[in-house]
Amino acid sequence: MMIVKPRIRGFLCTTAHPKGCAKYVLDQVNYVKSKPAINGTTKTLIVGCSMGYGLASRISAAFGCGANTIGVSFEKEPTPTKTASPGWYNNEAFGHFAREHGLLSPTINGDAFSDEVKQQVIDVIKEKLGTIDLLVYSLASPVRTHAKTGSVFRSFIKPIGQNLNSRTLQLDAINGNCVVREVQLPAATPSEIESTVAVMGGEDWQDWVATLASANVLSSGFKTVAYTYMGNELTWPIYRGGTIGRAKEHLDLTCQQLSAEYEPNIEPLIAVLKAVVTQASTAIPVVPLYFSILFKEMKKRGTHEDCTQQIHRLFDEQLYRADRRTDEAGRIRMDNFEMDEVVQRVVKENWHRVDSENVHELADVEGFRQDFLSLFGFERTDIDYDLEVDPTTAIQ
Ligand code: NAD
């Protein structure tokens, strides 16, 4: 038993609260259960199932559509004296709530890029579900060991073509103190761009589809969706115009290749999602400042959504409808409230005005801070963080 408090460096938290994570999952489950049932997937594979948009997808599939789900994620296990990574507790909690609901929910904890994990998933599909009708590809990884060549690729977050001078939010997540500070990022080298595309581009998604298809575990009418982000001119140099954006362009291209190869038997889709606080997004410089300015405006207008609200809406109003809201490239646009003209105008104005003095007035720093801590099971009013907990299980 131990007392678990947040241990934070920048936007990294090296501890997670088991009970807090379980309650975080339960909140999302209850949100989805409070909505009308969705006529959609019944047997779903989620790659990147433990956190952020992948977890929200698993919860929407299971508790929105009534699906049996298989999840894949790469999470650190606990020991009697060390907490697990939050995704490990989330998986355990999800499994518990899914079982209570009468749903199958096997989870494989391992490297999704590897052939071994793909084979394990196929074995589990054959044994438990027979086939799957939806693959959600929601990986966000800093590194990939290539299954065929053994080469190790890293994902870089850098601008392309020129160095970037911008601003970001430096936040002390414990006490809420923050400053707006300058950031300088050097332009990526060609090999850094290539490496990022190898990690966050579409090659592994394509591998998953090809491996599952050749194992004959896809139902007729099978769909697969991968997630992307677009953003605006403020985030463009570090996101869409940078190394990550290059990887996301590759994801778009992969979607077209999958269509050419497999349609009409398989429907590949890309969904452009809104900005939300996750482990992956807070690692991107500039983003914390842009996100917190954006959240302030979206909350003011009542259009802000968290991961679960956004993905539930994707499943409910887009994935299983013929009349989807798509852009010129055929991507499903779930970022419609974020990209609203008025929201974007206000965000740009506030971005140019914001400094360390007025940041609490122009940006939702407190909301950002709470979202960040809640990813690790902290900052909840229904948990007494001075009490000891068992770090080896979320359900206690
Ligand atoms: P996240 O950090 O919350 O979750 C990442 C998931 O990937 C976790 O489940 C983790 O265990 C898993 N993972 C990482 N490496 C793995 C590996 N080698 N093997 C197996 N699992 C592994 O990330 P997120 O922000 O939810 O991002 C998911 C997707 O959504 C990404 O494609 C991201 O670009 C996209 N997206 C995110 C945002 C945002 O604002 N967060 C916006 C739009 C799109």
Q: Transcribe 232-264 into DSSP letters.
A: -TTTTTTTTTSHHHHHHHHHHHHHHHHHHHHTT
The radius of gyration of the chain from alpha carbons, rounded to an integer in Å, stands at 20
Active site residues: 239
Ligand 1 center–CA 74 separation, angstroms: 11
Ligand 1 center–CA 368 separation, angstroms: 18
pLDDT of the chain along its 396 residues, tens only? 999 999 998 788 999 999 999 999 999 999 999 999 999 999 999 999 999 999 999 999 999 999 999 999 999 999 999 999 999 999 999 999 999 999 999 999 999 999 999 999 999 999 999 999 999 999 999 999 999 999 999 999 999 999 999 999 998 888 888 999 999 999 999 999 999 999 999 999 999 999 999 999 999 999 999 999 999 988 999 999 999 999 999 999 999 999 999 989 999 999 999 999 999 888 888 999 999 999 999 999 999 999 999 999 999 999 999 899 999 999 999 999 999 999 999 999 999 999 999 999 999 999 999 999 999 999 999 999 999 999 999 999
Ligand 1 center–CA 49 separation, angstroms: 8
Ligand 1 atom with the smallest distance to the CA of 287 is 40
| Nearest CA-CA partner of 270 in 360, 333, 345 | 333
Distances in Å between the Cα of 7 and the Cα atoms of 211, 212, 313, 376, 378 are 40, 40, 34, 10, 11
Ligand 1 center–CA 353 separation, angstroms: 31
**Which protein residue's CA is at the shortest distance from atom 16 of ligand 1?**
74
- Which backbone phi and psi does 145 adopt, to 5 degrees? -95, 120
Report the distance separating Cα 208 and Cα 204, nearest Å.
6
Which of 53, 143, 199 is the best mutation target for the ligand 1 pocket, counting ligand atoms within 8 Å of the beta carbon and taking the most? 53
End-to-end CA distance of the chain, in Å? Answer: 11
At residue 178, the 3 state secondary structure works out as strand
pLDDT value, residue 192: 98
Ligand 1 center–CA 227 separation, angstroms: 9
- Residues at CB less than 6 angstroms from ligand 1: 48-54, 72-75, 87, 111-113, 138-141, 227-229, 273, 275-276, 278-281
Ligand 1 atom with the smallest distance to the CA of 56 is 26
Which of 59, 74, 337 is the best mutation target for the ligand 1 pocket, counting ligand atoms within 8 Å of the beta carbon and taking the most? 74
- Which backbone phi and psi does 112 adopt, to 5 degrees? -60, -20
State the pTM of this model: 0.98
Ligand 1 atom with the smallest distance to the CA of 144 is 18
Give the residue ranges of DSSP H helices in 146-286. Answer: 190-200, 203-214, 243-262, 279-282
| Nearest CA-CA partner of 289 in 221, 220, 350, 373 | 350
Measure the CA angle with vertex 139, ends 137 and 143; round to 5°: 140
Other C-beta atoms within 10 Å of 180: how many?
18
3-state DSSP helix/strand/coil % of the chain, to nearest 5: 40, 20, 40
What is the torsional sign of CA 315, 41, 277, 139? negative
Amino acid at 85: S
